[in-house]
Amino acid sequence: MQDKILIIDFGSQYTQLIARRIREINVYCEIYPWDKIPTIDSSIKGVILSGSPFSVNDSNAPAPDLTQIKGKLPLLGICYGAQFLAGKFGGEVGTSTTREYGRANLSSVNNECILTKGINTGSQVWMSHGDTIKKVPSNYKIIASTSDVEIAGYVVDGEQTYGIQFHPEVYHSLDGSTLIKNFIVEICKCNQSWTPQSFVETTVDDLKEKLKDDKVILALSGGVDSSVTAVLLHKAIGSNLHCIFVNHGLLRKNEFQEVLDSYQHMGLNVKGVDASQRFFTALKGLTDPEAKRKAIGKTFIDVFDEESKLIEGAKWLGQGTIYPDVIESVSVNGGPSKTIKSHHNVGGLPDYMKLQVVEPLRLLFKDEVRRVGKSLAMDEAILQRHPFPGPGLGIRILGEVTEDKVKILQEVDAIFISSLKEDRLYGDVWQAGAIFLPVQSVGVMGDERTYENAVALRAVSSTDGMTADWVHLPYEFLAKVSNKIINQVKGVNRVTYDISSKPPATIEWE
């Protein structure tokens, strides 16, 4: 069985970063909410308790049953997790007189402890807490301190149980990766064998066992997620995979035919379905972002329900859902993290649709999906294609979606993306697109007053979509693109550039 680290989530904004750091050292991990801890089996080599927005002293604070874990498996508590392990077993946790948020430095470190081996005094760490551990149980030994927090780290005598007040998963903890590797490799003894190729082999075997001779219909989008999903399913079930690419009318300019053409050489069974008018009808009059997402999602389901009935014996709906989709749409596995927005391909199917869902990439981040695709020898043009939201331009048009607005935005987007490619900037950007703003502004064209639409351009850098920063595109490039858009796209007289990061903003505006 694949070595696995179990991450117990108490709702921290950093929980997903813990998973990222572990996977970066080629070890598999999964996140579960504190009240849905899975059965502990031999594949689980260690457990990490996350941080939390709660105080351990809150009446409704998360309090997991660790009977099968503490003292039996290597255990690391981070922030809230460390406070829980201290307070639950005889220590004291209370409100800190000196709160620590942001950067701090370790004033003392015990390098004889395996967890903190290689971390020096003065090392910068990232704090984010209002409570502090005032007293540890008698069998807990302090292994790290800062000038304001005496108990910044501890180990339990006679156990492989550790607690740290800071967040090693955050990049600002400069030796955080060392600490995590010490725990995962040196303490948990995990085999660093979780590679893209091992994921492919395991996933294909699992799909063969799960699907057998059943037929699967797959929602293709032309993006990396659904494309990698298609290749994995094709390796597992061959001709029993039926791919469907739906034109919901919200695609980029000429994208419907271009995507269909791109799949011809891959040996996949692909059918194109133009359902654009159905989507425009479903979106008519809607302005709320969630209402639009849900309308698009429902229409997708309806279309696939109809298409599945045309394929005799179809029992499964394949989807290219990835981890950020799950995390942002619902709490991880039903956990306590806050919902940010709905994703049309997350949350299961309605009762009337007699298909089961299969999502081979559900626990992968975007960069991991690309590495899997590369191990499958897929075309780089598909693998390096910028992410494009499932609801398409429907969530890049603020306010009501109409065909006229879509046509305008398609032209704006085409100019922006083609210009990035022409100037060799496309590869420096993780995701780019244009947004149709719900405002009009006064302009002057040919000595005449205009009152037309404004658009925003968005380009971000990221690794996995969980956090992102705006890209500092050259002013000369932005000026050229703005000029092209205003001169070539009728109906637009103002172009802006979005310079907000995620968080606090999201990558998409809706």
Catalytic residue among 29, 100, 113, 169: 169
- Hey, what are 30's tokens? 């999964």
Q: Are strands 469-470 and 431-445 parallel, antiparallel or unpaired?
A: unpaired
Tokens representing 115 are: 């967890």
- Give me 265's structure tokens: 């050489």
167 catalytic? Reply is yes
Identified catalytic residue from 29, 100, 113, 167: 167
Q: Where are the beta strands (DSSP E) in 232-391?
A: 241-247, 270-274, 314-318, 356-358
Token pair belonging to 285: 């009059």
Place of tokens 């457990």: 47
Q: Which of 79, 188, 190, 243 is catalytic?
A: 79
169 catalytic residue (yes or no): yes
CA nearest neighbour of 169 among 127, 107, 206, 209: 127
Question: Is the CB of residue 397 less than 8 Å from the CB of residue 406?
Answer: yes
Measured from the Cβ of residue 398, the count of other Cβ atoms closer than 10 Å reads 18
234 catalytically annotated:
no
Q: Which two tokens stand for residue 227?
A: 């494309």
Give CA angle at 217 (335, 334), nearest 5°: 5
Look at residues 14, 146, 138 and name the one whose alpha carbon lies nearest to residue 503: 14
DSSP designation for 338: P
Tokens of 230: 């298609």
Active site residues: 79, 167, 169
